[in-house]
Amino acid sequence: MQRLLRENARDPEAGLLVPLLRLARHDPDVFFKFRQDFISRIPYASEAAKEDAWIDTQKALTQCYPLQSFKDGVFELGRVLMGLRRYQAALRCFLESMRHWGEHHVSWFNCGICHVFAGD
């Protein structure tokens, strides 16, 4: 399914991405493969798709483990949460990312953005 979507839908819509994540049982590796598509399309999706993405990102977060230094799925999920305007949840992701994968200036920058938009 992943290969079919990647090869035949060069620009998959959010309406296809959320069911793919569900079909994969919220596997962070599947999310990681399509992370740019999630990040770029979820902010412009329908309200129903945004709500589905919110629920599914929470489930994917429960399965993210710091096993590979080059796959920081928590950081990428935080970027999706920023697009969903869930700034407190995104902030938690960026802080968790830095705890497991190390500090990075982009993570700190995103934390600042989250604080600003959350009104802190």
Q: For 43-98, how does the pLDDT look when each residue is reduced to its tens digit (9 = 90+)?
A: 888 899 899 999 999 999 998 887 777 788 899 999 999 999 999 999 999 999 99
Distance CA(70)–CA(11), nearest Å, equals: 24
pLDDT interval class at 37 (50, 70, 90): confident
Q: Report pLDDT digits (tens) over 108-119.
A: 999 999 999 999
Distance CA(39)–CA(117), nearest Å, equals: 18
CATH 1.10.3210 fits 2-118, yes or no: no
Domain boundaries, the chain: 2-118
Question: 3-state class of 101 per DSSP?
Answer: helix
Distance CA(6)–CA(50), nearest Å, equals: 21
The answer to whether 35 and 70 have CB atoms below 8 angstroms apart is no
How much is the pLDDT for 9?
A: 65
Both tokens of 36, joined, read: 């740019």
Q: Check whether 10 has a pLDDT greater than 70.
A: no
